[in-house]
């Protein structure tokens, strides 16, 4: 396994904002693949959209910090 484990994968791709400290995924809009992956209401869509925007902003900040530390920015 190239990354050793899931934590290594998360660290390599800077995905810490998508998981809890124990490594479990923070937001999954479906229940064990038994429900539709598509939002079933406007409210569900808004929740999903907010979660996506929060993740993208946090990951963007994490990438910016990493790039600065690597002297890429």
The reported pLDDT for the residue numbered 35 is 81
The reported pLDDT for the residue numbered 65 is 95
- How do the domains of the chain map onto residue ranges? 6-69
DSSP state, residue 22: T
- pTM score over 0.85: no
pLDDT tens per residue, the chain (73 residues)?
A: 688 999 999 999 999 999 999 988 887 777 777 888 788 899 989 998 998 999 999 999 999 999 999 987 5
The string of DSSP codes covering 2-60 is TTSSHHHHHHHTT-GGGB-TTS-BS--SSSTTSS-SS-SSHHHHHHHHHHHHHHHHHHH
Written as six digits, the tokens of 4 are 């050793």
Q: What gap in Å lies between CA 60 and CA 4, rounded to an integer? A: 25
The reported pLDDT for the residue numbered 46 is 95
């Amino acid at each position: 396994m190239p990354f050793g484990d899931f934590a290594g994968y998360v660290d390599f791709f800077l995905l810490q904002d998508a998981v809890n400290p124990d490594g479990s995924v923070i937001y999954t809009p479906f229940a064990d693949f038994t429900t539709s992956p598509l939002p079933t209401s406007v409210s569900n869509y808004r929740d999903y959209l907010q979660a996506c925007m929060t993740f993208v902003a946090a990951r963007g900040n994490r990438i910016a910090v990493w790039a600065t530390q690597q002297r890429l920015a």
